Amino acid sequence: MVKEKLDNQTEKAILEAAGKLFTRKGFAAARMEDIAKEAGINRALLHYYFRSKEKMFDLIFDQRVNEFFSGLGEIMFSEKGLEEKIRAIVEHEITTLSAHPDLPIFVLQELNQNPQRFLDHAGKAGAHPSTLLKKFSAQVKDEIKKGKIRNVDPSQLLMSIMSMAIYPFIAKPILKTIFETDEQGFNLIMKKRKKEVPDFILSALKV
């Protein structure tokens, strides 16, 4: 009666293939034929396992959204000080996205297509995303009151942090052209960015 977890090679292969193709091409442009080929099986079997293209996509998308936001909550709700927290966020984002570079464009493209999805997803996850901002906001305001940092709008600050860490992965093709470099060179630049960005932010926050 126990559901098999080790044996289903096929299911795993399909999910991997589907993840790859949906993430790369988006829902509409990814074809079942391609997914089947990538998984080394045929189209019919995809439907045997997952019934429809949409159901497959929903599985993948939810998983990707989770990856995209994984770890962020933990860091935000940890008891770290502000500086340490900022360093941890940037480090975490850049490390995650270096391993999964096309995560953000995929998730954000599909969310722009159907914003409701994010609310649905947040619903499943439990806490409303705004609690994350509130926690961060309180901490920033506290530091301002103590005179530790300059007076800045916490929302604007949070946006800036996330922007600086994530956007380069979205703009990668442009950046590779501008910097006249390849994949390896780009990754090196991102690695340096793990230190550069927090330093930049903290310098901006100095009183």
Partner DNA sequence: GTCTATAGCTGGATAGAC
Partner DNA sequence: GTCTATCCAGCTATAGAC
User: Which residues are near its own copies by CB under 8 A?
Assistant: 24-29, 102, 105, 108-109, 111-113, 115, 118-119, 122, 129-130, 132-133, 150, 152-153, 155-157, 159-160, 162-164, 166-168, 170-180, 189, 192-193, 196-197, 200-201, 203-206
Token duo for residue 21: 């193709």
User: Is 171 in contact with 189 (CB distance < 8 Å)?
Assistant: no
Any contact of residue 32 with DNA (CB under 7 A)? yes
Query: Residues 40-79: x/- map of binding to DNA (CB under 7 A)?
Result: -xxxxx-xx--xxxx-------------------------
189 binds, among its own copies, DNA, none (CB under 5 to 8 A by kind): its own copies
> Which residue reads 């189209």 in tokens?
43
The one segment of 29-37, 91-99, 130-138, 167-175 that binds DNA by CB under 7 A? 29-37
Say which amino acid occupies 70: S
**Cα separation of 27 and 61, whole Å?**
10
32 binds, among DNA, its own copies, none (CB under 5 to 8 A by kind): DNA
User: Is 186 in contact with 179 (CB distance < 8 Å)?
Assistant: yes
Kindly tell me the sign of the dihedral angle through the C-alpha atoms of 130, 117, 112, 29.
positive
Say which amino acid occupies 192: K
Q: How many CA atoms within 13 Å lie on the side-chain side of 156?
A: 5
2 binds, among DNA, its own copies, none (CB under 5 to 8 A by kind): none
Task: List residues near DNA by CB under 7 A.
Answer: 8-10, 30-33, 41-45, 47-48, 51-54
